[in-house]
Amino acid sequence: MGGHLVGLTGPPGAGKSSLLSALVRQWREDGRTVAVLAVDPSSKRSGGSLLGDRARIDHDPKDDGVLIRSTAAGTRLGGLAPPTREAAHALLPAFDVVVVETVGVGQSETDVAELCDTVAVVVQPGSGDTLQFLKAGIMEVPDVLVVTKSDLGDIAMHARRDLAAAMRAIGGAKVPVVAVSSIPPVNGVDELVAALDAHRAEIDVGAARVRARRLSALAEFVTEHGEAGLRALGGRRAALKLLEEQPPDAGVPVLVAALADATG
Ligand SMILES: Nc1nc2c(ncn2[C@@H]2O[C@H](COP(=O)(O)OP(=O)(O)O)[C@@H](O)[C@H]2O)c(=O)[nH]1
Ligand SMILES: [Mg+2]
């Protein structure tokens, strides 16, 4: 079965990279190996200034139990490129935890939710992120919610309370809301690790992986053949059904063959 595929997503500046430094340290202390694929949208725009002051994920470069890679965003706004999905699957047998870190814009949240076993959505307190989050309608995405910068005190506690209330209101009361501080004194990271593990323990990872593989094949097909290709197959739902009738690894060739039938 391999490792645990974790998605970490949230707005720029929310504290994802800083949190990953603390998470990687915690996982290594627990004796787990970790790979991080950081999807970098800034390469599409002028320089890195879009994202302002950004922390790096710091780790011991001599520790071969940790692998950190930056990868470019996909063609769709913020979406995951097929090579990123492939890399995530390829790393899973070799690492105990594989994290895909994305900036939460546009398509990326739903892509990450499709790919990963467990998705943590990160918001920072007092930034209007909470409100954004409610408006954006991505509340089905998180398996765990993380409020960062808990060292800021009351505003972090308020954000935590508001998010918990919002989740209860949509029937998501069982989604834990964890507050963390990633700067010393680091706080809440062990609680977050426990929440991620608890989620993994309660899902059917095998079924999630099969579904993720099929959705990856679908995304790859759309990258190659466009929305027109998808329409020729009768739409997204019909294309997914074609994949579901085949073994999990049948993948893109199934759709390409169906496209040839449909257009030939
Ligand atoms: N006070 C405080 N600042 C933090 C914390 N985590 C991150 N930051 C700061 O928030 C800014 C953005 O953090 P970064 O990790 O780069 O966010 P990312 O864009 O989501 O990866 C940086 O200046 C960090 O030093 C925290 O727990 N407490
Ligand atoms: Mg970052």
Tens digits of residue pLDDT in 5-52: 999 998 888 999 999 999 999 999 999 999 999 887 654 443 444 445
Work out the pLDDT band at 239, boundaries 50, 70, 90.
very high
Query: How many domains, in total, are found in the chain?
Result: 2
**Run of H or E including 147:** strand 144-147
**Among candidate residues 145, 98, 93, 137, the one with its CA nearest the CA of residue 117:** 98
Q: How far apart are CA 182 and CA 191, in angstroms?
A: 13
Tens digits of residue pLDDT in 83-132: 888 899 999 999 999 999 988 765 677 788 888 999 999 989 987 766 66
pLDDT for the residue 46: 39
Name the closest-CA residue to atom 26, ligand 1. 149
Q: Are residues 126 and 211 in the same domain?
A: no
The residue out of 203, 225, 241 marking a domain boundary is 203
Q: Which domain holds residue 224?
A: 207-263
Mean pLDDT over all residues of the chain? 86
Q: Are residues 216 and 96 in the same domain?
A: no
* Cut 0.95: pTM above it: no
Query: Cα 16 to chain center, whole Å?
Result: 11
The residue out of 203, 219, 254 marking a domain boundary is 203
CA of residue 262 to ligand 1 center, whole Å = 50
Burial class of residue 107, CB neighbours in 10 A (0-12, 13-18, 19+): middle
Whether the per-residue pLDDT at 219 is higher than 80: the answer is: yes
Q: Are residues 257 and 150 in the same domain?
A: no
Name the closest-CA residue to atom 1, ligand 1. 149
